[in-house]
Structure 1
Amino acid sequence: MDTLDKKILEMLKINARESFATIGKEVGLSAPAIGKRVRQMEEESIIEGYSLKVNHEKLGIETKAYITLVMHRESTGTSNSIEQIRAMEEVQSCDRITGDDCLCILGYFRNNRHLIAFLEKISAYGASKTSIILEV
């Protein structure tokens, strides 16, 4: 991976739908050359996929929160419990972490009542601490 590949990646991070022609003009290569480099980075798993940025407020999401969870001893290390949490519709990401907490969950909720209902649901797995996201 050279400096041109890094520049291509930076441009794709800003706009994954940017045309190869536009990227090529910026870095001094043709559109087919950019396409070849992008395909190569995909084949090498440098680029693992593309994502979509969504305005969640327009979809009725008013509350976003980070929730850390200390799992009950019987649930700790149980991949089934973790997969059940990850499968919940409110969970955007769920990472196993080090330290006193076991999991860090990013959740999206219609409102605070929805968040409370979610916290009650995951209380079966352990004790949680919640930090509501005020601004991204």
Structure 2
Amino acid sequence: MDTIDEKIIKMLSANARESFATIGKSVDLSAPAVGKRVKQLEDKGFILGYSLRLNHEKLGVNVKAYINLKIHQSSTLRTAYNQIKYLDEVQRCDRITGEDSLCILAYFKSNKELVILLERISQYGVPNTSIILES
């Protein structure tokens, strides 16, 4: 990876939909040359994918929470992780070190939805919840 690749990555990080022509003007390359470099960065694993940023508040998300889950038995950790990470409300589910086994970031339309999720995941362990006030 060279400085041009770094500039391309920086521009795509700011706006993944930036045109190759616009990027090319910034790095003194043609649009096809930028496209080729982006493809190489993808093939080499530097670029893993592209994502969509949403305005969650406009979509009705009123409650965001981190939930640390202390698993009851180590034998249920893999099962809990594989079940929880695919729940609709869950944005992230990370296996972590320490007393807690999982750290979950989840979004909800109401506190009632949060309570429902907490009841659902309590079969795997003891949740400790922190509501996000600002982000």
- For 1:75 and 1:129, locate their aligned partners in 2 and report how far apart those are by CA, in whole Å: 20
Q: Which residue of 1 aligns with 2:66?
A: 66
Q: Secondary structure at the match of 1:89?
A: coil
- For 1:125 and 1:96, locate their aligned partners in 2 and report how far apart those are by CA, in whole Å: 14
Q: Secondary structure at the match of 2:107?
A: strand
Q: Secondary structure at the match of 2:13?
A: helix
- For 1:99 and 1:85, locate their aligned partners in 2 and report how far apart those are by CA, in whole Å: 19
Q: Which residue of 2 aligns with 1:91?
A: 90
Question: How far has the Cα of 1:81 moved from its partner?
Answer: 2.2
Q: Secondary structure at the match of 1:64?
A: strand
Moved more, 101-110 or 79-88: 79-88
Task: Give deviations 1:47-75, integer Å, cap 9, x for gaps.
Answer: 11100111111221111111110000155
Q: Secondary structure at the match of 2:57?
A: helix
Task: Give deviations 1:23-46, integer Å, cap 9, x for gaps.
Answer: 111111111111110010011111
Alignment TM-score, normalising by the size of structure 2:
0.94
- For 1:113 and 1:120, locate their aligned partners in 2 and report how far apart those are by CA, in whole Å: 11
Moved more, 68-77 or 48-57: 68-77
Go from structure 1 to structure 2 and tell me whether the alpha carbon gap of 1:3 and 1:120 turns closer, same or farther (over 3 Å shift): same
Question: How far has the Cα of 1:108 moved from its partner?
Answer: 0.7
Question: How far has the Cα of 1:87 moved from its partner?
Answer: 2.0
Contact 1:75 1:125 in 2 (8 A): no
Alignment TM-score, normalising by the size of structure 1:
0.93
**Structure 2 residues without counterparts, runs of 5 or longer:** none
Query: CA RMSD of the aligned region, Å?
Result: 1.2
Q: Which residue of 2 aligns with 1:122?
A: 121
Are 1:131 and 2:127 matched, yes or no?
Answer: no
Q: Secondary structure at the match of 2:120?
A: helix
Moved more, 99-108 or 82-91: 82-91
Q: Which residue of 1 aligns with 2:38?
A: 38
Runs of 4+ in 1 over 6 A off after TM superposition: none
Identity of aligned residues (%): 61
**Structure 1 residues without counterparts, runs of 5 or longer:** none
Contact 1:68 1:101 in 2 (8 A): yes
Contact 1:75 1:81 in 2 (8 A): no
- For 1:72 and 1:6, locate their aligned partners in 2 and report how far apart those are by CA, in whole Å: 45
